[in-house]
Structure 1
Amino acid sequence: MTYLSRRSFLQKFSIGVGVLTLPAIGRPGILSSGYAGKKLRVALIGLGNYANLMAEGLRESKYCELAGIVTGTPEKAKKWQAKYHIPDKNIYSYERFDEIAKNKDIELVYITMPNGLHKEYAIRAARAGKHVITEKPMATNAKDCEEMIAACEKAGVYLAVGYRLHFEPTHIELKRLGQESVFGQVRMIEASLGYRTFDLNDTVDATFDINNRKEWHVRKAISGGGALINLGIYPIQACRYILGEEPVAVTAQFGPVHNKKRFSQVEETILWQMEFGSGACTTSTTSYGFNIDRLYAVADSGSFELSPALSYGPFKGKTSKGELNFPVINQQATQIDAIGKQILAGAPLPAHITGEEGLKDMRVVDAIYKAAETGKKVFL
């Protein structure tokens, strides 16, 4: 089997973007690879672990640059200011965030905060006239996603979700293998992601610190849930884009809890199954209690698999006809460039990266939680 080059994949993946009346900057999504024009100025909201990855991605970006930060920790603000040469006027506390509306040097905000804060800050950013990218999950439930979409539409700003794997060449190949039926109709997918984030004897801190990942991930009010909402998005996404269709029904089961004090509000482990109109079925597991990162898909005349599959890579895999071997990329830089060049060109975002895509994921997450809680199949 002959595999497409990375460039061919990226070109193929961009097909289908609509054509509008164009500003002077050029055609939608067709900015030169040697582009040296204006960059989209980005502020990061929340300076946790992932914000560090995004900042480094912005350093490599052709179309975007880090212009500002929003944080509740003055010490972090000083360190980031020194490292990334951010001017005083582009540094905001959460309390002063709404003042960003007056700052013409910031055009887009990227939300890397705990899940329960995505809705609030996306809506506040939209009201301030700023474009929005929010990390996954888009929000803690589908209703909140709908409100975020409505707010951004009303304000006339872009809303995107940080689906970095949509631009990663190995995953672009998985999408092609499934949607183009390279090995025939895909019949079954196993896709799972879990990390042993907590030791079995971990205690719960008495004082809640929003900057402590171990703490906010197990507080339902701020996380929205446990392993499913934080890690399960990746298996859900992979199954959906390999098959190119939406699930019609789900069943689910909560797994065992090894630390009842730590996991008193959210699940430690959850298993779920999805049924699709084509007849395909999928099975997935996600957990904070053990490490797993794999994907296996079987079709009528072959199969394909990855392990590692859904994390940051580098991804390793094979098909029935040989190894999958694609270059390692900076996932954050590639994603932000794909979004940034569309915004700079005044072009619509591809549907797979918009708030509507985030809403689809959250409808599935809501259904999985309902199925696990009731023990019944839930139809979508």
Structure 2
Amino acid sequence: MKQDPLRFGIIGTSNIADIPRAPALQRVAGVTLWSVLSREHARAEQFARKHGAMSPHPAYSDLSDFLSDPQLQAVIITSPDNLHGQHILQRARAGKHVLVEKSLVTSHEEGAEIISACRKRDVKLGVSMHLRWHAAHRKLHPLILEDGVLGKLRHIRI
């Protein structure tokens, strides 16, 4: 029996949402772009049309309305970093899975609150680190950490 696709919403209509994220949803079997949230309703409508959002009401400018859709199953968050915490917490408390662009949040305390909320609701939380396995990064790793070619590692700030 054919299973319905996993319905994703996208919060934010920035370039990261427009260029890699929404097109990726179109290429992956078993998932679909369901709806879009933007601060500007017209921008959400344009984005939803461009990327073929499947919801009968695909465009939102109000976060509460967007999150109240019972058909929405998972969210990709591409909003500004300072809004990530608010957006993740609301989705986690609703029991919806989240993929968020880096950075996760802007403070350790907010991160701890998010992790706790996700664990309580058994919500899957992922942070998109699209360059983590980039060829240049893979080449630098042994030069820094294993061979010491670039000197001794003294500090990493994350």
Q: Smaller-chain TM-score range? A: 0.7 to 0.9
Deviation of the 1:80 alpha carbon:
1.8
Please give the residue correspondences for 1:81-120 in structure 2 after superposition, counting only pairs within 5 Å.
Answer: 81-86=48-53, 87-97=55-65, 100-104=67-71, 106-120=72-86
TM-superposed deviation, 1:136: 0.8
Shift of residue 68 of structure 1?
A: 1.2
1:154 deviation in Å?
1.1
Distance 1:74 1:60 in 2: 26
Change (3 A) 1:188 1:138: farther
Does structure 1 retain, via aligned residues, the 8 Å contact 2:13–2:43? yes
Which of 164, 174, 181 does residue 139 from structure 2 map onto? 174
Matched-pair contact (CA < 8 Å) for 1:101–1:130:
no
State the SS of the aligned residue for 1:281. coil
Q: Which residue of 2 aligns with 1:65?
A: 32
Is 1:163 the counterpart of 2:124 in the alignment?
Answer: no
Q: Which amino acid aligns with 2:44?
A: A
1:281 aligns with 2:153: yes
Residue number in structure 1 paired with 2:13: 47
Q: Please, which runs of 5 or more residues in structure 2 have no aligned partner?
A: none
Q: Larger relative CO (CA 8 A, sep 6+): 1 or 2?
A: 1
Moved over 6 A (4+): none
Q: Deviations over 1:341-360 (max 9, x none)?
A: xxxxxxxxxxxxxxxxxxxx
Equivalent positions of 1:175-324 (< 5 A) are 178=142, 185-187=146-148, 189=150, 280-281=152-153
Structure 1 residue 167, shift from structure 2 partner: 4.9
How far has the Cα of 1:38 moved from its partner? 4.9
Query: Quick check: 2:6–2:73 contact (8 Å CA) kept in 1?
Result: yes
Q: Secondary structure at the match of 1:166?
A: coil
The structure number with the bigger radius of gyration is: 1
Q: Name the residue aligned to 1:127.
A: 93
Q: What secondary structure does 1:42 align onto?
A: strand
Which residue identity is paired with 2:115? I
Following superposition, the deviation at residue 84 of structure 1 comes to 2.4
**Residue identity matched to 1:122:** I
Q: Which amino acid aligns with 1:57?
A: A
For 2:13, the aligned partner's letter is: L
Aligned residues: 155
| Between 127-136 and 36-45, the greater mean CA deviation after superposition | 36-45
Aligned residue identity for 2:47: W
**What SS does the aligned partner of 2:67 have?**
helix
Code of the aligned partner of 2:146: Q
Superposed CA RMSD in Å reads: 3.0
Q: Return closer, same or farther for 1:47/1:154 CA change in 2, 3 Å cut-off.
A: same
Structure 1 pair 137–95 and aligned structure 2 pair: CA distance change class (3 A): closer
Q: Tell me what 2:104 maps to.
A: 138
Percent identity over the alignment is 25
Retained in 2: the 8 A contact 1:188–1:281? no
Aligned equivalents of 2:99 and 2:23: distance in 1?
16
Letter in structure 1 aligned against 2:48: Q
Maintained 8 Å contact 1:186/1:280: no
Deviations 1:83-133 (A, max 9, x none): 223234343223434x534422x2111111111100001000111221011
Q: TM-score w.r.t. structure 2 length?
A: 0.80
Structure 2 CA distance for aligned equivalents of residues 143 and 84 of structure 1: 35
Query: What TM-score do you get using the length of structure 1 for normalisation?
Result: 0.36
Q: Is the 8 A contact 2:45 2:59 kept in 1?
A: no
**Unmatched tracts of structure 1, length 5 or more:** 1-35, 190-278, 284-360, 366-380
